[in-house]
Amino acid sequence: MMRRILNYNNEEDREILSQTSAEVTDFNSEEYKQLIQDLKDTFDKIPDARGISAIQIGVPLRVCICKWGTMYIVITNPTFTRVRGSQDFIEGCLSVPFVFKKINRYQKVWCAYKDENGNDAEIAEGGRMSDIIQHEVDHMNGKCLLYDEEKVL
């Protein structure tokens, strides 16, 4: 089911978006499976979206979906195990509509995570995919580097 994306311009939404998300512990629960489906359904309705975190639909769990080309990657309970370099990226955010900023991030990240079935996985990506992963992990940590209260409100 498509869900509403929370927006930093809304005070109640901003309180939720600022929470630190909890780790997923039950990968077999119906709630977790429905969350993954809801994220996919919501994500599919947004042209040019590259990532969405559970917190952005009001669920404070450490889950996101990233899309690269036609491939979806469900990343749960991510941990950066190694990082390298730095690079400026121009970012947008579904929760901060119509705002784009230059953000300096790691050029490449190695990220250990659980896939949607709870299996251990790791991704090592540089460039734009590295940026997407870092952006979504920021959301899980209650941060959005694009949100600037003075400019957005």
What residue has token string 């600037």?
A: 148
> Looking at 91, 116, 125, 136, which residue is catalytic?
136
Sequence-separated (6 or more) residues with CB below 8 Å from residue 32: 24, 26, 61, 63
Look up residue 107 and give its two tokens: 């050029």
Residue 39 φ then ψ, to 5°: -60, -45
Sequence-separated (6 or more) residues with CB below 8 Å from residue 87: 104, 105, 106, 107, 127, 130, 131
149 noted as active-site residue: no
Catalytic residue ranges: 136
